[in-house]
Amino acid sequence: MRARGYAELTTTELPDELQFHVVSTMGVVDWLRFFAMRALPLILVYLFFSFLLGRRDRDVLILSGIYLASISSVLARWLYGNVTVLRVSSDMIVATGNLGKVFAKTLTVPTLEVESLRESGGGLYLERDSFWKESGWILPGLNREQGKTVIKTILTRFPEVWEEYDAQAQIPFGFRTGLRPLRLYPSEDEKPDAA
């Protein structure tokens, strides 16, 4: 096992769609960070309440249950493996494989429902245009350069559907570049005449 994780990205151009195939591998540092980021807040909450209310063994059991539930993505990784496939066409985005969720192996989103598609240090993130519809990672495990490559490839292949925008201007940290459908954001030049 390597110290740091990595992801292998393969791009396939099909007649009507692009297909991105990602095989991600977590390293020792990634596993330590994964468990520590979930355990540290629970330990701090436990210490706070143990000093406030006194030590109770029942609290340890409750916090242990919360911790086990919070590491459910380990279960998803075990169930679905370390492979994620993203298919992008002019009217649909379909992600299958390990999406980091226990109960979801496939995410299908029409292009009309996409608010934005952004790269981040953790992969490619899809945001839908309404709050009750599921948003989330569709290519987890990519580094920034791989995420930028995916964004540029989609933009090059489907320039009539997607436009690039600066996601950094909307979100002060984390996300860098992104795509959004042209249909949802008309140009400033196409304003209707006020007659």
Write out pLDDT tens, residues 21-63: 998 877 777 767 777 777 777 777 777 766 776 666 666 667 7
Cα distance between residue 99 and residue 83, in whole Å: 9
Distance of CA 135 to the CA centre of its chain: 8
Task: Encode pLDDT of 113-143 as tens digits.
Answer: 888 888 876 778 888 876 666 777 788 878 8
Fold assignment, 6-26+82-184: PH-domain like (2.30.29)
Q: Which residues, at least 6 apart from 112, have a Cβ–Cβ distance to it below 8 Å?
A: 91, 181, 183, 184
Q: Read off the pTM.
A: 0.69
- Residue 192 is which amino acid? P
Average pLDDT on 1-21 reads 83
Of 86 and 57, the structure prediction assigns the larger pLDDT to 86
96 beta partners? 85, 106
Of 174 and 162, the structure prediction assigns the larger pLDDT to 162
Average pLDDT on 143-156 reads 88
Of 158 and 75, the structure prediction assigns the larger pLDDT to 158
Cα distance between residue 192 and residue 195, in whole Å: 9
Taking Cα atoms as reference points, which of 139, 97, 105, 106 lies closest to residue 120? 139
CA quadruple 22, 23, 29, 30: dihedral positive or negative? Answer: positive
Distance of CA 30 to the CA centre of its chain: 16
Give the residue extent of every domain in the chain: 6-26+82-184, 29-77
Q: Which residues, at least 6 apart from 13, have a Cβ–Cβ distance to it below 8 Å?
A: 19, 157
pLDDT surpasses 60 at 82: yes
Cβ neighbour number for residue 95 with a 10 Å cutoff = 26
Cα distance between residue 73 and residue 54, in whole Å: 32
pLDDT surpasses 60 at 174: no
pLDDT computed for residue 87 by the predictor: 95
